[in-house]
Structure 1
Amino acid sequence: MNNYKKIVSTVGTGAVLLALYTGVQAADPVKVGLLLPYTGTYAALGEAITNGMKLAIEQHGGQLGGRPVEYVSVDSEANPGKAVPNMQRLVDGAKVDVVVGPVHSGVGMGAVKVARDSGVPLIIPNASFNAATGPLCAPNVFRTSFTSWQTAYPMGQVAVDKGYQNVVTLAWRYSAGTESVEGFKEGFEKAGGTISKEIYVPFPDVEFQSQLTEVAALKPDAVFVFFAGGGAAKFVQDYAAAGLQGKIPLLGAGFLTEGTLAAQGKAAEGVLTTLHYADSLDTEQNRSFREAYRQQFGKEADIYAVQGFDTGLLLAQSLKKVAGNTDDRAAWIAAMSQERIVSPRGEWTFSKAHNPVQNIYLREVRDGANQVVDTASTALADPATGCKL
């Protein structure tokens, strides 16, 4: 014990832990399980998250806590029905130390169940369903992305500040759509606004004519919507084609214009969205990240790459603090809980429920780009309703 104290005073606790750990497992790789979509509609998201995460780890010497890294990938196929067996392949079969995923909220429900039962850390780099850091929260479940509430709630105050008192909402009827509408509604009504009608479209329908006709007849001050991907591209085009662009302002959670602007073209001009990132953020961290990503992968980074990058930062920073000891989950989880991530999106920390406390930016489409015009909410924490941590 005296020798131990002497070493601590000379080189520090972290180095001692690493020395003690070296004989046990330090030469073995940290096994990082990836439960992400690599085929199908969401394949590009899975690729971007993976790229971003690996870039962050490479920038930390290609190791985690002084140990090499082994990636074990399972294609989630964005299929909720395969979520539990796919998680079990990683946790029970491959014996991974941590799981990163998923993208799809339906898959997330199954992933969280297995994580809670097994105790294996789960880091969610996209799926936004509120329950993961709400009623289903757990000490070993972390999110490096956002909740549906978080990216919609601030738009309520923005709408009122712009003089919009009467708003119609329009969204797909599935978890991301309904939760986003509820988040906007909470913020809007709290600020004094009134939702005159909530309109839903079956997911994943992309025929919007009857709903747009109804919006035109209602003549609200503005419309708040949630659509993403190809559905968002078509909706914005149809909105303009119906003669509503420039007449009834269009507001949305940021995914309305994220990765869709090229397809939307001039129809997207003037659309306002709220999101925790924008390509145009003028910070040194964002500029250096985007340049490194461009050089490494030959393409532009997006929000999904940022969320993957921050996942890599979380792994690198927390495992450095515990000297790579993944066996002591309690110490590792405590280290993750306390991390401050200096991200391309801006610095953020974890809430008690392990959701990012982060800035939400107000963006306007100008000349075919999402330009940051303001910070809609600074250091916004999700309320984590139902979380018992």
Structure 2
Amino acid sequence: MRSTMIAALAAGAALTMTAASAGAQDKVKVGIIATLSGPPAVIGQQLRNGFQLAVKNLGGKLGGKDVEVIVQDDELKPDVAVTKVRAFVERDKVDFVVGPVFSNMLQAILKPVTDGGAILVSPNAGTSNFAGKDCNPNFFVTSYQNDQMHEVAGKYAQDKGVKTAYIMAPNYQAGKDSLAGFKRYFKGEVVDEVYVPLNQLDYSAELARIAAAKPEALFVFLPGGMGVNFVKQFRQAGLADKVMFLSTFTVDEATLPAQQDAALGFFAGSNWAPNMDNPQNKKFVADYEKEFGSIPATYAFQAYDAALAIDAALKETKGNVSDKEALRAAMKKANFESLRGKFKFNTNNYPIQDFYLTKVVKRPDGKFQTEIAEKVFADYADPYVKDCKMK
């Protein structure tokens, strides 16, 4: 009898373990990697908030399955990012990694994530190499290819007959992509092309050079805290009435709460704005403001769309994450209503979408946001897709 009881207990324990294992398999695991400390932290917070809001609005599920979201700060350090995504795939066994904010982080994490068997979904960074020759079937982008947002400003300047421009960006891959994007459509004279250290906050030397060069237009890509400081210093230097201000990620909903009146009337290139007129976007903006007490930026909406893309793919596969080929095919279909309206993945897994010039305005409630001024590109695909071997 004793032997029988022991056998029965052992069988019961085995059944419990099996049930627990089966339960674990019924849960989708997502790792979010974003910059959540230092001057750019506000950007990473928008990314994290946007994804988590989507999961909340989907009832805490993705594709009908319970979801566990694990969040890590990459500290804007590639080695830290690699360590944390390896933990995602090796220890936590995540099915998807969502992030990062910055392109140098993306360059560092793509291989360990995709080699580890997870699908990487970027809701912000979208470097040229991964859109072209280094495209990867386990990598999807819900934002843009880095050059494209900056091409908006270049085309607008060209169309407006601007003859001279001063251009500036941080000295890393996305910064180089940004200025390349601006120059792709701007055919006037670039009076100076300046690269500053990532996270530089004092621009007195650069502002003196701008004043001396007397360009018709200024184009800057200075995200997060960099943009907050530059815009204030630019306005204080008395240049706002002398130079057309064009930008990307410098005046947006992540920086405007700190910039406020200093940014009024400044232009930016974007694939979206809070005032975009469709039902899903109106609900998103209202929900975000209620949940977080601030206006969402592109980082939040693109992360929200990343969650919708994963949700749609899992519905297509009936929650199966083990068949990676089927999961990739389901992701490619992009069978969801993007907050931006028209959206589809190109063969390189980067979006085909519309792009706009936006302008900073002050709302009746005293808050600041960007609003669409005009459409600059329609159904626009990035120029690097021709180099991608995926079809």
Task: Identify the TM-score tier after normalising by the shorter chain.
Answer: 0.7 to 0.9
Given that 2:271 and 2:340 are in contact with CA atoms closer than 8 Å, whether structure 1 keeps it comes out as yes
Deviation for aligned residue 1:222: 1.1
> Which amino acid letter does the alignment assign opposite residue 126 of structure 1?
N
Quick check: 1:55 aligned with 2:53? Answer: yes
Deviation for aligned residue 1:298: 4.2
Q: 1:137 to 1:255 in 2, by over 3 A?
A: farther
Q: Deviations over 1:94-113 (max 9, x none)?
A: 11111112222222112111
Match of 2:222 among 204, 210, 227: 227
Q: Which residue of 2 aligns with 1:371?
A: 371
- Report the secondary structure of 2:372's partner residue: strand
Given that 2:120 and 2:140 are in contact with CA atoms closer than 8 Å, whether structure 1 keeps it comes out as yes
Q: Which residue of 2 aligns with 1:174?
A: 172
Deviation for aligned residue 1:164: 0.5
| C-alpha separation in 1, matches of 2:119 and 2:199 | 32
Q: Which residue of 2 aligns with 1:383?
A: 383
- Report the secondary structure of 1:122's partner residue: strand
Match of 1:147 among 130, 145, 148: 145
Given that 1:26 and 1:67 are in contact with CA atoms closer than 8 Å, whether structure 2 keeps it comes out as no
Deviation for aligned residue 1:374: 0.6
Moved over 6 A (4+): 23-27
Quick check: 1:112 aligned with 2:113? Answer: no
Q: 1:243 to 1:52 in 2, by over 3 A?
A: closer
Deviation for aligned residue 1:379: 2.0
Provide the identity percentage: 36
**Structure 2 matches for 1:270-349, cutoff 5 A?**
270-349=265-344
Given that 1:340 and 1:347 are in contact with CA atoms closer than 8 Å, whether structure 2 keeps it comes out as no
Q: How big is the alpha-carbon RMSD for the aligned residues of Structure 1 and Structure 2?
A: 2.3
Deviation for aligned residue 1:330: 0.2
- Report the secondary structure of 2:277's partner residue: coil
> Which amino acid letter does the alignment assign opposite residue 306 of structure 2?
T
Deviation for aligned residue 1:24: 7.3
Given that 1:257 and 1:268 are in contact with CA atoms closer than 8 Å, whether structure 2 keeps it comes out as no
Q: 1:195 to 1:283 in 2, by over 3 A?
A: same
Which runs of 5 or more structure 1 residues have no equivalent in the other structure? Answer: 1-22
Q: Deviations over 1:277-296 (max 9, x none)?
A: 21222322221111222334
| C-alpha separation in 2, matches of 1:85 and 1:96 | 14
- Report the secondary structure of 2:276's partner residue: coil
Q: Deviations over 1:141-177 (max 9, x none)?
A: 0111223201001222211221202212122222222
Q: Which residue of 2 aligns with 1:194?
A: 189
- Report the secondary structure of 2:65's partner residue: coil
Q: Which residue of 1 aligns with 2:154?
A: 156
Quick check: 1:45 aligned with 2:43? Answer: yes
- Report the secondary structure of 1:256's partner residue: coil
Deviation for aligned residue 1:25: 7.4
Q: 1:166 to 1:38 in 2, by over 3 A?
A: closer
- Report the secondary structure of 1:68's partner residue: strand
> Which amino acid letter does the alignment assign opposite residue 388 of structure 2?
C
Match of 2:202 among 187, 190, 207: 207
| C-alpha separation in 1, matches of 2:204 and 2:34 | 34
Q: Which residue of 2 aligns with 1:127?
A: 125
Match of 1:356 among 338, 343, 351: 351
Q: Which residue of 1 aligns with 2:95?
A: 97
Match of 1:267 among 257, 262, 266: 262
| C-alpha separation in 2, matches of 1:51 and 1:305 | 6
| C-alpha separation in 1, matches of 2:152 and 2:244 | 17
Deviation for aligned residue 1:237: 1.9
- Report the secondary structure of 2:313's partner residue: helix
- Report the secondary structure of 1:372's partner residue: strand
Deviation for aligned residue 1:240: 2.1
Q: 1:50 to 1:268 in 2, by over 3 A?
A: closer
Deviation larger for 76-85 or 257-266: 257-266
| C-alpha separation in 1, matches of 2:280 and 2:64 | 25
Deviation larger for 245-254 or 310-319: 245-254
Q: TM-score, normalised by structure 1?
A: 0.86
| C-alpha separation in 1, matches of 2:176 and 2:350 | 20
Deviation for aligned residue 1:26: 9.2
Q: Deviations over 1:244-278 (max 9, x none)?
A: 11111111124334422233233322211111121
| C-alpha separation in 1, matches of 2:79 and 2:24 | 36
Given that 1:226 and 1:256 are in contact with CA atoms closer than 8 Å, whether structure 2 keeps it comes out as no
Q: 1:265 to 1:74 in 2, by over 3 A?
A: closer
Deviation larger for 52-61 or 106-115: 52-61
Deviation for aligned residue 1:319: 0.5
| C-alpha separation in 2, matches of 1:60 and 1:388 | 35
Q: TM-score, normalised by structure 2?
A: 0.86
Given that 2:33 and 2:98 are in contact with CA atoms closer than 8 Å, whether structure 1 keeps it comes out as yes
| C-alpha separation in 1, matches of 2:383 and 2:28 | 33
Deviation larger for 315-324 or 45-54: 45-54
Q: 1:239 to 1:49 in 2, by over 3 A?
A: closer
Given that 2:43 and 2:254 are in contact with CA atoms closer than 8 Å, whether structure 1 keeps it comes out as no
Given that 2:43 and 2:224 are in contact with CA atoms closer than 8 Å, whether structure 1 keeps it comes out as no
Q: Which residue of 1 aligns with 2:7?
A: none
- Report the secondary structure of 1:325's partner residue: coil
| C-alpha separation in 2, matches of 1:125 and 1:79 | 18
| C-alpha separation in 2, matches of 1:172 and 1:388 | 30
Deviation for aligned residue 1:329: 0.6
Deviation for aligned residue 1:55: 2.7
